[in-house]
A and B are shown apart, each in its own frame.
Chain A
Amino acid sequence: MEVNKIKQYFLNKNLIEIDEDEIRNLEIKPTLAFTDGENKIFVKIIPLEAISNRSQFIKFMMETSALREQCNMIYIVIPSLIATIIDSEILKEMGIGLIISTGEKIREVLPAKKYKPKIILEANLIEQIEQISSRLERIESYIHRLESQINQIAKRIGEAKPIKPITIEKPVEAKIEIPGLPSYMQNNPWLQILKGRGEREIAK
């Protein structure tokens, strides 16, 4: 089957081909991969040996099924001869699109269903997520405890009688106003201190 024709068919649908580097991490690789900016569309073309070899055909279908979880949409491309044998209803149920290649023409006879791809996480990443989630649980329970304590305190405050505010009256400072004093002596705080000291000595 001509890969270029199939590639052109998808490019004509305003799709952009995904670089091989982007799908390098996949264990099972699609024959072609495209994107419309948002969705990943994989295309799996049936290998020639799968047409005559039943186990190869099963392998092809299993690989397609596994790939479905890695993309938003998946299509299989099969020759029309195989299409007369395969029950397309199964593909429809699985959400796999069907494209029939007659050698000269390529026809999409069954549209693919859109899926949300599964994100495969590494084992250590899962462990880290589990640790974070357990920490989060602890923090949440701590916050919950704090909240209840705050509520108790607020309740107590609401029940308490209001306390009169303590006001401290400022002592009126006696101003020494003696006419004829020089300007540096007028309203000088030191005079008040010295006056107090003198009064204390007299009292003794």
Chain B
Amino acid sequence: MQSEAIRYTSIRKIQLVIDVEDYLAPILTLKDFEKIYKTKPKPPRYRIASIEVLVCPEDGNVILPTECSKCPRFIRRVKDMILCIEKTIE
């Protein structure tokens, strides 16, 4: 069935500011944008996108939580944590 060890991987929520007029402008986090420009990003030039990412404990890659659905080790999500098991489910 399942191994006893369950891994808790925290999900990081990032709010990104995207400059839709200048594609070469670096994508900043909302906090960094406000710190640099001393203002809030205003549409239509700036758009805010929220993304969730986590580091897969299996291979160390940054992934989206939805990608966990393809993993046989995935158990469930608890708040901002992904629960998965160390051993593959038989």
B51 CB to nearest chain A CB (Å):
13
Chain A residues, Cβ within 8 Å of B69: 79-81, 83-84, 102
Given contacts A89-B78, A109-B75, 5 further A-B contacts (CB under 8 A): A79-B69, A84-B77, A85-B65, A98-B76, A110-B76
CB atoms of B82 and A84 under 8 A apart: yes
Please give the residue numbers on chain A whose beta carbons come within 8 Å of chain B beta carbons, in ascending order.
79-81, 83-89, 98, 100, 102, 105, 107, 109-110
Interface of chain B, main secondary structure = mixed
Verify if B50 is at the interface (C-beta below 8 Å from A).
no
Pick the contact of A85 from B66, B75, B79 — CB < 8 Å?
Answer: B66
Interface of chain A, main secondary structure = mixed
Q: State the CA gap A56–B72 with chains docked (Å).
A: 28
The 6 closest A-B pairs by CB, nearest first: A80-B69, A81-B69, A88-B76, A84-B65, A109-B76, A89-B78
Task: Give the A-B pair count, Cβ closer than 8 A.
Answer: 42
CB atoms of B76 and A100 under 8 A apart: yes
11 A-B pairs in the complex with CB atoms less than 8 angstroms apart: A80-B68, A80-B74, A85-B65, A85-B77, A86-B77, A87-B77, A88-B76, A88-B78, A98-B76, A102-B69, A109-B75
Please give the residue numbers on chain B whose beta carbons come within 8 Å of chain A beta carbons, in ascending order.
65-70, 72, 74-79, 82, 89
Q: State the CA gap A109–B74 with chains docked (Å).
A: 10
Chain A residues, Cβ within 8 Å of B78: 87-89
B7 CB to nearest chain A CB (Å):
14
- Evaluate whether A84 and B89 lie within 8 angstroms (CB atoms) in the complex, with A89-B78, A89-B79, A98-B76 already known: no
CB atoms of B66 and A84 under 8 A apart: yes
A110 CB to nearest chain B CB (Å):
6
Chain B residues, Cβ within 8 Å of A109: 75-76
Chain A residues, Cβ within 8 Å of B70: 80
A112 CB to nearest chain B CB (Å):
14
Q: State the CA gap A2–B86 with chains docked (Å).
A: 28
B32 CB to nearest chain A CB (Å):
27
A7 CB to nearest chain B CB (Å):
21
